[in-house]
Structure 1
């Protein structure tokens, strides 16, 4: 049942150009390597990534226990297990895209000192790159009613996991059985959590590229970069098309105090790397405010 919920979330493909917001330094890294650095979901910019799903599950579990369920210990064990796994569980790597490449809220985050750019890729290219590397592409869910329905389905499925296992002599043995079942669905739970976002971020209308679950960093090409206060794990997503080319569909230059020079140097750089956008480069036309 968990796999069906997960599959449903990633069943609708994008139809519009998908934009990735980054800094000029980030752009250099993307174009020169033809790769995108997908961050572990726990270390992404929005610190509430997994916590939001955990909060929703906690609220629903509490309501059910208060209302009366056959096995409250099962749901309590599930929540305790999830709380632990949020920090120390397997890795799931994500990259963020948006259908709108010219959002003021995003420029505020990425155009500090006039150094923001959003790079747009054709949806079919993103889908092809994702599928070839066993990633999935899904649109984030923000509507509270949709999220509540999904959380209900998850908890229903958790209760079904224990069907037919009433006779267990020891509590410890029972808990071990439950944890083994929880571990079997962990990948699907992480994929679901990756696209459930707090309604406050609805304006972003984000799409996520989501990696397979990775349990062993030493056995996969997991790399690390320096963050503001810790090391950030990341995983490379190859952006080259079937012909081995980095094909950029369109790009926006973010607010800057040197529009003409910045537009010119950006165009020169992309052309020198054989990555000139098919639909050219557009200035965002948002007034630049030096901070």
Structure 2
């Protein structure tokens, strides 16, 4: 895979070239507001199951669930791309009728930009089983660093009911208030940070055709700005992906279905030349889609 594609409007390419930036929207204000919390809910369900069903590890399950309640999408911003160029569903969903463009960015250049900023360029995960597995792996990793019960599971199971309750309470107190609290807190904090990193990559399997990749910018250094959405203001930051020396990040532009496709193609070539980007390839979509 050489390119990742960003679908936009005619106004969009004007803004991107003028500013050398693309917008990354706050994760709580994406088109599907539930996306971030989709992955978080898996972890909460897993922790709740441990707490309710496994008395031996109930203190661990409670600590994980309690920690995850504080996780939010604050200071988390997302810019979206697709592996697929000239995709009908993308023209329909993300571009104005008869006036859409698909911008092809060099993957290596995007990755270099992200590495320099401490951001991440990652592929979205659509398969439900894979999403669950990733969360389970993180919770298991968390338990490796979490204080362990002082009794073995076998010894615990051999206790009478009252002694089991006493052991469970003792484990909870040791990890929530006692000497082992710092170790427990550190393990939970690492888990919450890791969940925050992967949650923006979880998407409903029904959107798998989009083959989406995302730049995930956590605690970005860029200032927060605001744009109008249909019924609210959406916070965003501007990522300077076309800054020096990465001007070559933009490699191609595809003109979407358009009633004046040839005229649009000619004007986009003139626009690119005015920014010193004459080598960017300009193509037209052959899709017989009429939306105007």
- In 2, the alpha carbon distance for the partners of 1:195 and 1:275 equals 32
In the other structure, the counterpart of 1:282 is 283
- For 1:98-247, list aligned pairs within 5 A: 98-164=82-148, 169=173, 173=177, 181-211=187-217, 213-214=218-219, 221-240=223-242, 242-243=244-245, 245=247, 247=249
Give the TM-score normalised by the residue count of structure 2.
0.80
Give the TM-score normalised by the residue count of structure 1.
0.80
- Of the candidates 6, 23, 46, which is equivalent to residue 9 of structure 2? 23
In the other structure, the counterpart of 2:54 is 68
Q: Tell me if structure 2 keeps the 8 A contact 1:98–1:205.
A: yes
Q: 1:49 aligned to 2:35?
A: yes
**Shift, 1:31, TM fit:** 0.9
- In 2, the alpha carbon distance for the partners of 1:265 and 1:102 equals 19
Residue segments in structure 1 that go unaligned for 5+ positions in a row: 1-14
- In 2, the alpha carbon distance for the partners of 1:244 and 1:137 equals 16
How well do the aligned residues superpose, as a CA RMSD in angstroms?
2.9
**Shift, 1:184, TM fit:** 4.3
* Larger gyration radius, structure 1 or structure 2: 2
How many matched pairs? 270
**Shift, 1:185, TM fit:** 4.1
- In 1, the alpha carbon distance for the partners of 2:65 and 2:252 equals 44
In the other structure, the counterpart of 2:161 is none
| Residues 91-148 of structure 1: CA deviation (Å, up to 9, x unaligned) | 1122111111211111111232312111001111111111122212111122222222
**Shift, 1:47, TM fit:** 2.3
CA separation of 1:17 and 1:79: change in aligned 2, threshold 3 A: same
- In 2, the alpha carbon distance for the partners of 1:207 and 1:189 equals 18
Q: 1:95 aligned to 2:79?
A: yes
- In 2, the alpha carbon distance for the partners of 1:199 and 1:101 equals 20
- In 2, the alpha carbon distance for the partners of 1:76 and 1:134 equals 32
- In 2, the alpha carbon distance for the partners of 1:157 and 1:244 equals 37
In the other structure, the counterpart of 2:44 is 58
- In 2, the alpha carbon distance for the partners of 1:22 and 1:30 equals 10
Q: Tell me if structure 2 keeps the 8 A contact 1:22–1:116.
A: yes
Structure 1 runs of 4+ with >6 Å offset: none
**Shift, 1:160, TM fit:** 3.6
